[in-house]
Structure 1
Amino acid sequence: MSGREVERTDDGRYIVVDGRRWRATDPAIPEGRRAELTKVLMAWRREVGRTKGTDDEPAARAGVQAAKVALGERGTPWWEQTDDERRERWETDVPWPARDGGAK
């Protein structure tokens, strides 16, 4: 999150923003891969905004979902997965929106 310090629950599984609890990104993801997945997530979020109310919005929302699952923020909680399951999750290919040309 934008460089500011984020409050975490004692177990590290959640962050707290404005009093609301959100699942934290899997801390085991290698830094380079985490950064890449975060960029993909932000690109998909921009795509959701661009396609709001159109037939393309569901695909954009699916892209957000895929990125958030890869980061461990949705789907099976990362603390309930084996190391191999976690690695497989974050190594899964999450495509970039076509509008971004797949560029990283």
Structure 2
Amino acid sequence: MQYPVTPDRRYFVVRGRLWRCSNPELAEEERSRLVQELMNARRAVKQALHQEDEAALETARHKVNTAKIALGERGEVWWTDGAPDYNQKLVKNTPYADWYAALSEEKT
């Protein structure tokens, strides 16, 4: 499934909410390694939930967060122009609202 990406390529939209994209300045090898770490951590979360292992769940969630920070999806923003972060905000409550509304109009 392809999610719409904001014109500045900082966010993609899922169910009306903005999610920060990975840092496009990451080298492909580094990005691939971090995505693999993220996927491994997500599998560990699933396994810990299935096994009802709270300690393993905490460790796995920490690894997910660490990978997402390294990818630029959480933590400090990767852009340098001083623009605020709208990660996880409803798009309708951000400066991207008109852009997103126009996308809906194009589909009709």
**TM-score w.r.t. structure 1 length?**
0.68
Pick which of 15-24 and 25-34 moved more.
15-24
Partners of 1:50 and 1:15 lie apart in 2 by 28
**1: distance between equivalents of 2:4 and 2:43?**
26
Aligned to 1:15, the other structure's residue is in SS state strand
CA–CA separation in structure 2 for the residues paired with 1:80 and 1:59:
31
Matches within 5 A, 1:11-26: 11-26=8-23
Query: Structure 1 residue 19: deviation in Å?
Result: 2.8
2:69 matched residue in structure 1: 69
Pair 1:50 & 2:47 matched? yes
5+ residue gaps in structure 1? 82-104
Give the root-mean-square deviation of aligned CA atoms: 1.6
May I ask how many residue pairs the two structures share in their alignment? 78
What is the rounded CA distance, in whole Å, between the counterparts of 1:13 and 1:19 in structure 2? 15
TM-score scaled by length of structure 2? 0.66
Higher relative contact order (CA 8 A, sep 6+): 2
Question: Bigger shift: 21-30 or 50-59?
Answer: 50-59
Q: Deviation of residue 16 (structure 1)?
A: 1.4
Which amino acid in structure 1 is aligned with residue 73 of structure 2? E
| Counterpart in the other structure of 1:9 | 6
Task: Give the distance between the partners of 2:13 and 2:29, measured in 1 at CA.
Answer: 24
State the Cα distance separating 1:18 from its structure 2 match.
Answer: 3.3
